[in-house]
Amino acid sequence: MPEIKRKSGRKADEMRKISAKVGIIPNANGSAMFVSGKTIAIAAVYGPKEHHPRNQRNPAKGTLRCTYNMMSFSVTDRIRPGQNRRSTEISKITEWALEPIVMLDKYPGKVVDVYIHMTQADAGTRCAGINAAAMALAHAGIPMKNIVSSIAAGKLDKTIVLDLDKYEDSEFEEGEGSTDIPMTFTSDGKLTHIQVDGYITPEQLKEAMKMAREASKKIYEVQKQALKDSLGKEK
C-alpha cells in the first residue's frame, strides 16, 4: 500500500485522541460528551415521554427522535443558528444508526428525544455525535441490546486512512483526492450506518471498513469506561 504523510503527523490507521464523559447535563435523563481531537459533541436524552404531536405516535413501539446541530461559532465561518438541510439529514442518519440497538418496543406510543450539539467542530462531527448519543441513551437507562461506536475511515489519494480531520476532509486535493466514509458499528460488529463521499474501489472500501471496525473497538472501550465512571454519581 502506498504510504502517505499526513499533515497531522498521524499514522494511516491512527485516530485522533478521544475522550468521553457521561453525565454533563443535570437536567437530562441521560447525557454525555465525546471529544475527538478538536471536535467536541454533547448529547442529552429526554424521555421516554408522551409523544407529541399525537399523529406521529406509533402504537406498536416507541419512537427515537434525534436532533443534530452545530453551534453557530463551532466552525471558523459562522453558520446561521438553527436547522438546515445538512443537519436535518444527519439527524435522520443518527436515528438510523442508533435505532437498531434501542429496545423501543418497550415504550409503545412514547418518544425518546436525543439532542446533539457540536460546541466545536473539526470534521467527524456525525461520528462524535453518534458516540455521545449512544452513551447518553445508556446513561438515561433506556433498555439497549448493545452500544454503537462510530468512526470514519477514508482515503487520501491512494492510501486508506482512519479518521479524517478537517484539513484532510475538505482541503486535501492531491491525486485521487479525499474520500470520507463515516461508519457506525455495534460492539458485536454489525454495521448500523455507512456513508461514502469520494472515489474508492470495492476492495479499498473493504479494507477501510476493517480499519474502522478495529478503531470502533477502541472507542467502545472508552465509552464503556466513561459509563462505568458515571455510576454512583448524581445524574
**Does residue 171 contact residue 14 with C-beta atoms inside 8 Å?**
no
Q: What's the min distance (Å) between Cβ of 178 and other proteins?
A: 18
Interface with other proteins, residue 25, by CB under 8 A: yes
Q: What's the min distance (Å) between Cβ of 212 and other proteins?
A: 26
Site stretch for other proteins (CB under 8 A), options 15-23, 26-34, 93-101, 202-210: 26-34
How many Å apart are CA 220 and CA 54, to the nearest integer? 36
Name the residue with cell 479524517: 164
Of all helices (H) and strands (E), which one includes residue 127? helix 125-139
Give the cell for residue 147.
452500544
Site size toward other proteins (CB under 8 A) is 32
Interface with other proteins, residue 145, by CB under 8 A: no
Of 21 and 235, nearer to other proteins (C-beta) is 235
Site string for other proteins, 29-58 (x = CB under 8 A): x--------x-x-xxx-x--x---------
Interface with other proteins, residue 168, by CB under 8 A: no
Interface residue with other proteins among 18, 98, 121, 212 (CB under 8 A) is: 121
Of 40 and 161, nearer to other proteins (C-beta) is 40
Mutual orientation of helices 125-139 and 85-98 as an angle, nearest 10°? Answer: 50
How many Å apart are CA 206 and CA 210, to the nearest integer? 6
**b/e per residue, 144-183, with b = 16+ CB within 10 A?**
bebbbbbbbbbbbbebbbbbbbbebbeebeeeeebbbbbb
Interface residue with other proteins among 81, 141, 143, 177 (CB under 8 A) is: 81
**Does residue 3 contact residue 159 with C-beta atoms inside 8 Å?**
yes
Interface residue with other proteins among 1, 2, 3, 77 (CB under 8 A) is: 77
User: Applying CB under 8 A, which residues contact other proteins?
Assistant: 25-29, 38, 40, 42-44, 46, 49, 67, 71-78, 81-82, 113, 115-117, 119-122, 235
